[in-house]
Structure 1
Amino acid sequence: MSTDTPNTQSLSLIPPRLPGIIFTLALVAYIVAVTQRSSLGVAGVDAIDRFDASATALSTLAVMQVVVYAAAQIPVGMLLDRFGPSRLIITGAALMAVGQIIVAVAPTIEVAVVGRILVGLGDAATFVSGLRIISAWFRPRKVPVMQQWFGNLGQLGQFISAVPFSTLLHLSEWTVAFLTTASLSVILVVAAIAGLKDVPGSRFGGQPMSLSGAFSTLGAAFSRPGTRLGFWSHFTTQFPGNVFGLLWGYPLMVQGLGYAPQLASALLILPVVVGMFVGPLIGLLTARFPLRRSNLVIGIAITSAIFWSILLLWPGQPPLWYYVIVLVVTGGATTGSNIGFDFARTFNPSSSYGSASGIVNVGGFTASAIAFLTIGLGIDAVTGGAEPTWDAFRVAMWTFPVLTVLGIAALLHVRNQTRNRMAAEEGVVVAPLWRALARRMRRRGDTRE
Structure 2
Amino acid sequence: MNSRRAWLVFGVGVLAYLVAVTQRSTFGVAGVAATERFDATAAALSAVAVVQVAVYGLLQVPVGALLDLFGSRRILLIGAALMGLGQLVVAFSPVLVLAGAGRVLVGCGDAFTFLSVIRLLPGWFTPRLLPQLLQWVGMLGSLGQVVSAFPFALLLRESGWQLAFLTSVALSVLATALVALFVRAGEPLPLTTPIPAGGRLVILTSALRRPGTQLGFWAHTLLASLPNLLSVLWGYPYLTVAVGLPIGTAALTMGLFVAASIIGGPTIGYLVARFPWRRSNLVLGVGALSYGALLVLVLWPGVPPLGVIMAAFLAIGVAGPGSMVGLDFARTFNPSHAGGSASGIANSGGFIGAFVGMFLVGVLLDARGGKGAAIDVLYSYDAFRIAFLAPFAIGLVALVGLLISRRRTRARMFLEDGIIIAPFWVALFRRVRGGVAARKARMRAMARRRLCDNDCSGPSRFPCSRRCLAFGAGDLTWVLVMPAEC
Relative to the length of structure 1, the TM-score reads: 0.93
Equivalence map 1:196-235=2 (5 Å): 196-200=183-187, 213-235=199-221
Contact 1:306 1:401 in 2 (8 A): no
Match of 1:350 in 2: 336
Structure 1 window deviating more from structure 2 (48-57 vs 327-336): it is 327-336
Once the two structures are TM-superposed, the CA of residue 445 in structure 1 deviates from its matched residue by 2.5
Cα distance in structure 2, aligned partners of 1:219 and 1:201: 23
Match of 1:206 in 2: none
Cα distance in structure 2, aligned partners of 1:394 and 1:442: 45
Equivalence map 1:386-401=2 (5 Å): 386=373, 387=375, 388-401=379-392
Equivalence map 1:58-137=2 (5 Å): 58-137=45-124
Task: List runs of 5+ in structure 1 lacking aligned partners.
Answer: 1-10, 203-208
Question: CA 1:269–1:346 in 2, change beyond 3 Å: closer, same or farther?
Answer: same
Once the two structures are TM-superposed, the CA of residue 210 in structure 1 deviates from its matched residue by 12
Task: List runs of 5+ in structure 2 lacking aligned partners.
Answer: 190-194, 442-486
Once the two structures are TM-superposed, the CA of residue 400 in structure 1 deviates from its matched residue by 2.4
Once the two structures are TM-superposed, the CA of residue 212 in structure 1 deviates from its matched residue by 5.0
Match of 1:165 in 2: 152
Cα distance in structure 1, aligned partners of 2:248 and 2:174: 29
Contact 1:274 1:332 in 2 (8 A): yes
Once the two structures are TM-superposed, the CA of residue 383 in structure 1 deviates from its matched residue by 0.2
Cα distance in structure 1, aligned partners of 2:197 and 2:111: 20
For 1:285-319, what per-residue CA distance to the aligned partner results, in whole angstroms no more than 9, with x for missing partners?
Answer: 00111100000001110121112112101111111
Structure 1 window deviating more from structure 2 (311-320 vs 28-37): it is 311-320
Cα distance in structure 1, aligned partners of 2:436 and 2:265: 33
- 1:47 aligned to which of 24, 34, 42: 34
For 2:261, give the aligned amino acid.
G
For 1:39-86, what per-residue CA distance to the aligned partner results, in whole angstroms no more than 9, with x for missing partners?
Answer: 101101000011100000000010000000011111101100000011
For 1:85-123, what per-residue CA distance to the aligned partner results, in whole angstroms no more than 9, with x for missing partners?
Answer: 111000000111110100011110000111000000000
For 1:107-154, what per-residue CA distance to the aligned partner results, in whole angstroms no more than 9, with x for missing partners?
Answer: 100001110000000000100111111222211121011000101110
Tell me whether 1:423 sits opposite 2:414 in the alignment.
yes
Structure 1 window deviating more from structure 2 (102-111 vs 439-448): it is 439-448
Cα distance in structure 1, aligned partners of 2:353 and 2:284: 16
Cα distance in structure 2, aligned partners of 1:399 and 1:90: 36
Contact 2:290 2:317 in 1 (8 A): no
For 1:385-420, what per-residue CA distance to the aligned partner results, in whole angstroms no more than 9, with x for missing partners?
Answer: 322210000000112223222211110010000000
Match of 1:414 in 2: 405
SS in 2 for 1:441: helix
Cα distance in structure 1, aligned partners of 2:198 and 2:150: 47
For 1:5-45, what per-residue CA distance to the aligned partner results, in whole angstroms no more than 9, with x for missing partners?
Answer: xxxxxx2xx7x312211110100010010011011011010
* Identical counterparts, % of pairs: 44
Contact 2:28 2:236 in 1 (8 A): yes
Match of 1:4 in 2: none
Q: Which protein has greater RCO, CA pairs closer than 8 Å, 6+ apart?
A: 1
- 1:269 aligned to which of 255, 262, 275: 255
Cα distance in structure 2, aligned partners of 1:211 and 1:242: 38
Cα distance in structure 1, aligned partners of 2:154 and 2:246: 14
Cα distance in structure 2, aligned partners of 1:68 and 1:19: 31
Once the two structures are TM-superposed, the CA of residue 211 in structure 1 deviates from its matched residue by 11
Which protein shows a greater Rg? 2
Match of 1:376 in 2: 362
Once the two structures are TM-superposed, the CA of residue 200 in structure 1 deviates from its matched residue by 3.7
Contact 2:223 2:287 in 1 (8 A): yes
For 2:101, give the aligned amino acid.
V
SS in 1 for 2:244: coil
Cα distance in structure 1, aligned partners of 2:126 and 2:337: 17
For 1:146, give the aligned amino acid.
L
Runs of 4+ that moved beyond 6 A = none
Structure 1 window deviating more from structure 2 (337-346 vs 209-218): it is 209-218
Structure 1 window deviating more from structure 2 (210-219 vs 102-111): it is 210-219
- 1:331 aligned to which of 306, 317, 331: 317
Question: CA 1:137–1:247 in 2, change beyond 3 Å: closer, same or farther?
Answer: same
Match of 2:293 in 1: 307
- 2:423 aligned to which of 429, 432, 441: 432
What's the Cα RMSD here? 1.6
For 2:288, give the aligned amino acid.
I
Contact 1:148 1:335 in 2 (8 A): yes
Contact 1:308 1:400 in 2 (8 A): no
- 1:321 aligned to which of 271, 292, 307: 307
Relative to the length of structure 2, the TM-score reads: 0.86
Contact 2:414 2:420 in 1 (8 A): yes
Contact 1:158 1:269 in 2 (8 A): yes
Equivalence map 1:172-183=2 (5 Å): 172-183=159-170
- 2:143 aligned to which of 156, 161, 180: 156
Cα distance in structure 1, aligned partners of 2:45 and 2:201: 35
Cα distance in structure 1, aligned partners of 2:128 and 2:244: 46
Cα distance in structure 1, aligned partners of 2:63 and 2:135: 21
For 1:336, give the aligned amino acid.
G
Tell me whether 1:237 sits opposite 2:228 in the alignment.
no
SS in 1 for 2:127: coil
